[in-house]
Structure 1
Amino acid sequence: MCRSIKTLREPFASDVTDEDMKAAALQYVRKISGFRAPSARNTEAFDRAVEAVTVATRDLLADLQVKPSPQTDS
């Protein structure tokens, strides 16, 4: 789908910031809408969508239960 969106969950990423989540949301909304930057009349809808996807991303990452990776014996 959108190759520029990086994985934000552990163990692929640590210390994920709100900016990371918003950047991923922005890329998603751009891809879905087909707009790199919305027109003036679509800006409000575009911005609402970015915020909604950011919140959904934050909620998802907070709720995911990731199995710890097995430790290797040395």
Structure 2
Amino acid sequence: MCRSIKTLRPPVVEHATETEVREAALQYVRKISGYRVPSRTNAAVFEAAVAAVAESTRQLLDGLSHRPPSTAGPSKTAQAAGGRSGR
């Protein structure tokens, strides 16, 4: 189930929407609680958990720093792989 949670940070996603953040939080809470849809008895605590995870996720995404894409040419790994193929 959690395999459907996608990366929400740049550069993969320019800016994650609140819907994307909430969907990821919902998937996470579903996975750890074992409920796809909680009973009425557990609905309030389930929704509170989704809201808390979504808020923490937004704080994480807003606080992460990221590097801009490299414009320096091929990576050392690519250069090393190219050098090995010529042997």
1:8-66: per-residue Cα shift (whole Å, max 9, x none)? Answer: 00011123110110000000000000100000000001000000000000000000011
- Count how many residue pairs are aligned between Structure 1 and Structure 2: 73
Q: How does 1:19-58 map to 2 (within 5 A)?
A: 19-58=19-58
Question: Of Structure 1 and Structure 2, which has the larger fraction of its residues in helix?
Answer: 2
Q: How does 1:2-21 map to 2 (within 5 A)?
A: 2-21=2-21
TM-score for both structures, normalised by structure 1: 0.91
RMSD: 1.4
SS of residue matched to 2:58: helix
TM-score for both structures, normalised by structure 2: 0.78
User: Displacement, 1:72?
Assistant: 5.2
Name which one, 1 or 2, has greater alpha-carbon Rg: 2
User: 5+ unaligned residues in a row in structure 2: which ranges?
Assistant: 74-87
**44-53 or 15-24: bigger deviation:** 15-24
2:30 maps to amino acid: R
1:32 maps to amino acid: I
TM superposition outliers: structure 1 runs of 4+ over 2 Å:
none
Find the aligned partners of 1:66 and 1:15 in 2 and give their Cα distance: 12
Find the aligned partners of 1:42 and 1:35 in 2 and give their Cα distance: 10
